Structure 1
């Protein structure tokens, strides 16, 4: 993924006028309370570095040190102007992350350019996943072709000892000709080759239930993006600090974990009334209080 991702989100299809937020996925004031004691056993949670896209390129090591100090244990990178490893070699990036007590789990990347090299470099440092961040199509046949490409990329990853996954936006959870593109992705890909990263914000934005989709094919959604949505808005890009919006992660997170989701990765793309670093810190405090088994 490159920094052009912001423009993708602004122009993407699949966001109907008169937004219908799924009532079973969120709440406007009656959310399940997160645990409030220090006795809760915190499970490791991660951060998608795109949350810090304005700060991170200026001082990757300094920003990573702050991220570690907030309590994040897992890192999901993305492919910026200096690559997935931000001006460092893959081994240098890994060594610094290790020094901070964190683990590089995955990275979003451009899967159409130098994918063999990226898979080899990711495998060399023990990463688990390379992830396709975007694959919107205009036709159902286009989605079927994309699924076939996912299988091919999955073969490349498998041969290197890692996994391939696809990260959704609202478009794949919005029906096209009466069919969810996400169903095409799920049904046309080989579970031995392709996993999925569910961006729960975009599922809710499309009016769908993240838990129901995870239960539909248990174990396929191995990773999840955890980000909240502002209340009382139909804007597409309306993320906010966890716990201040309408998505009930205190209920959703345990349920998706039970359905096979292994990694919960925080992401935030708007910072109304806060800053990127402050939001990342506050989001970590929210995640620490989730009662996850």
Structure 2
């Protein structure tokens, strides 16, 4: 093993030690006690992923070292948000090198060559993708967007890839009495467009994640597991005030889902990744 490889693993062990302390403190307070709940269901390792956007600052400076560290934490699956200047084939080789599989990706379709997006997905290997962002001021604009989304998703579906929509909080704020999230769900076909619920944003948007899950039962195939701190901002998974144990237990029926760790602006991205992975692996519900 090279000195470079040793230094990366030493760096990770340091981060992991710090994370363990944070995880223990979190487990002793609030809803994070779910980590120590005896018995119950457990999220399969293959369903635990991380949105690489969480680690973007590290990926930009050391792509290979960061992917190696992610694998060393225990992750086997990742969700992409770009390939950091590498081609699809180059990025796939890096994932293979570190034993990682891209199970999904955020890729925007508006203004993009959908056929090329599909070819890149096939090369990298993911079978789920999602539009990460849209925001409009009128229902007419949201309807037009939903129609375009459905058309793009239909092309992905024919290629064997499920294309979905990832929410923020504004989709839950009514426009003329109608929520944009309902426009998206009602105007797209269930077999074309799945839903990737960012659970933090569902909560911040004033909705009940469990109620929303059953409102669109069968279409929610991915969860962004992002916690909320006491100040209402982002928190490492298991250290905030979202009741994951109850939420996951009540949404267990239905299709198998990916549980994707995310934090939009972590101060220590590797620590955040470690805390989130350990929390989900230890959680019983």
Same-fold call, TM cutoff 0.5 = yes
Structure showing greater radius of gyration is 2
Tell me by how many angstroms 1:168 deviates: 0.3
* Correspondence for 1:88 among 86, 95, 102: 86
In the alignment, does 2:262 pair up with 1:290?
Answer: no
* 1:261 shift after superposition: 5.2
**Bigger fraction of residues in helix:** 2
How many Å separate the matches in 1 of 2:240 and 2:42? Answer: 24
Residues 224 and 260, structure 2, Cα contact 8 Å, conserved in 1: yes
CA drift of 1:52 comes to 0.9
Provide TM-score, normalisation by structure 1.
0.80
Could you tell me which residue of structure 1 aligns to residue 18 of structure 2? none
- How far 1:217 moved relative to its partner? 1.7
Q: What is the distance in 2 between the residues matched to 1:35 and 1:147?
A: 39
| Structure 2 partner of 1:61 | 64
Q: 1:97 to 1:163 in 2, by over 3 A?
A: same
Alignment-derived partner of residue 52 in structure 1: 55
Kindly tell me: are residues 38 and 50 of structure 1, through their superposed partners in 2, closer, same or farther at Cα, counting changes over 3 Å?
A: farther
Structure 2 Cα separation of the partners of residues 46 and 186 of structure 1: 25
Return 5+ residue gaps in structure 2 as ranges. 1-28
Tell me the TM-score normalized by structure 2. 0.82
Match of 1:153 in 2: 152
CA distance in 2, matches of 1:263, 1:153: 22
Tell me by how many angstroms 1:42 deviates.
4.9
Report the CA distance shift for 1:261/1:203 in structure 2 as closer, same or farther (over 3 A): farther
Asked if 2 retains the 8 angstrom alpha-carbon contact of 1:219 and 1:261, the reply is: no
Superposed, 1:148-227 pairs within 5 Å as: 148-227=147-226
CA distance in 1: counterparts of 2:78 and 2:166, whole angstroms: 16
Structure 1 contact 49–76 (Cα < 8 Å) conserved:
yes
The structural deviation recorded for 1:117 is: 0.3
Alignment CA distance shift 1:251-1:41 (3 Å)? closer
Give 1:253 deviation, angstroms. Answer: 2.0
Q: Unaligned stretches of 5+ in structure 1?
A: 1-28, 80-84
Q: Which residue of 2 aligns with 1:4?
A: none
Higher mean displacement: 152-161 or 188-197: 152-161
